[in-house]
Amino acid sequence: MKDIFENGKNLPLIQEFYTIQGEGYHTGKAAYFIRIGGCDIGCSWCDTKVSWNADIHSLAKTDDIIEKAFLSEAKSIVVTGGEPLNYNLEYLCKKADEKKLQTFIETSGAYPMSGKWDWICLSPKKQKPPLKENYLTADELKVIIFDDNDLLWAEKCSEKVSENCKLYLQPEWSTRKTNTLKIIEYIKKNPKWNLSVQLHKYLLIP
């Protein structure tokens, strides 16, 4: 079967844009976002369900993606999805390194890691948990909180990451009015955690 992705030289691109990061450890920093199509995790509350079916998104040349990121004057790229680790990202990281761009990834960790990353944000999902080795490579653990069971899941995940991993709880957007205060109180009792909010949504930043 022909590899239409040519080992990562082509990727099903949903969108690419230069913006301000709105979540987690790097909130407020400028970055060039690369959203790749294809995800079989299937979170019921997913706010990018358009990303699930990779077949509806046109293939883009990875060389062109990185060139646009470079020309934007961004200093870093954030590769997200969908689930970006559905694809071999070695080539993308290699081309980014040639342009002196820092490489960040946001992933569920459910698939083997590929690529060389300056920052790995692991956002684990109960229905398809991360591979054991991906917990240990995470620089940041960001758990989305939809209900109280997710707090139990977050604690289980926090036991599997390294001691240097930054820990974040983030209210799922549709439940933020009830969950945010609950999460704040939880963090006050468990101060190893930090609060992450979707700042870009509050400020209407693309």
Extents of the domains making up the chain: 6-202
Judging by DSSP bridges, how do beta strands 102-107 and 119-122 pair with one another?
parallel
What is the mean predicted confidence (pLDDT) over 63-80? 98
The stretch 191-200 carries a mean pLDDT of 96
CATH number attached to the domain at 6-202? 3.20.20.70
pLDDT tier at 29, thresholds 50, 70, 90: very high
- The pLDDT of residue 1 is 39
| Inter-CA distances, 121 with 56, 59, 110, 204, Å | 26, 25, 13, 23
What whole-number distance in Å separates Cα of residue 102 and Cα of residue 122? Answer: 17
Spatial CB neighbours of 192, under 8 Å, sequence gap ≥ 6: 158, 167
How much of the chain, in percent, has pLDDT values that exceed 90? 84
